[in-house]
Amino acid sequence: MTSRKSLLVLGGSSHIGRAAARAFAGAGYDVGLAGRDIAALEPDAADLRARYNIEVGLHKFDVLDTASFEGFVAGLPTLPDVVVSIVGLLGVQERAQSDLAHATAIMRSNYEGPALILGLFAEKFLGRGSGTLVGVSSVAGDRGRASNYVYGSAKAGFSAFLSGLRARASRGGVRVVTVKPGFVRTRMTEGMKLIGPLTVEAPVVGAAILRAVESKTDIVYVSGKWRLVMLIIKTLPEAVFKKLRF
């Protein structure tokens, strides 16, 4: 046992998950990495232990297996101080329009699973009277676009859930943070045409998550440019917005 604060990353094998783990480890947190493939997490765990001299635990977690959530939380060796949910599935909009199974996977991966697991942790944190929950949402949830409205709608639901949970949990000493990265160079966006000035690297997101937790920020647009872009997009009249090709 250590006296250090602890972080649990849900989606620990993702680029952003790895970046968040490194940012918090560098700040002296012990780290738990959770994901479907424990073997894939082993190299990252070894690197974190060697690089930062911290304790690192590995935990099997599948965001679609909601029936396992209570057992997952109960099986953790200790209740962490911070939980960050980075799980998600971008999917393919064109496929989701006719493939209900694919659309369901996108919706469950980005809304149902993350919301339910963070809600469960919220109850544990409220019982303790402290803790911080971080949900990585998306600017795609700020307004539905023709090119990704299945993914965007799930992220919109997740953002709304986090907003309501934040209002409730704040009365019990628990913080809830919403992070909206925008375009990030990761495996998820590989092959996409990204806009250079609006695109960041995963370590930038990891550092932003740490700053938000330590500075007690509620909602974070990782790039300030996205806050302005989405403000403009959200104020466009529907008659104009539906004619846009993006």
* Catalytically active residues, by annotation: 151
C-alpha torsion 109→115→117→119, nearest 10: 180
Q: Can you say whether the dihedral through the CA atoms of 97, 98, 100, 101 is positive or negative? A: negative
Query: Contact 179/136 with Cβ under 8 angstroms?
Result: yes
Alpha-carbon gap, residue 31 to 54, rounded angstroms: 8
Dihedral pair phi/psi, residue 173, rounded to 5°: 80, 15
DSSP class of residue 190? T
Query: Contact 241/233 with Cβ under 8 angstroms?
Result: yes
- Residue 99 tokens, joined: 């493939």
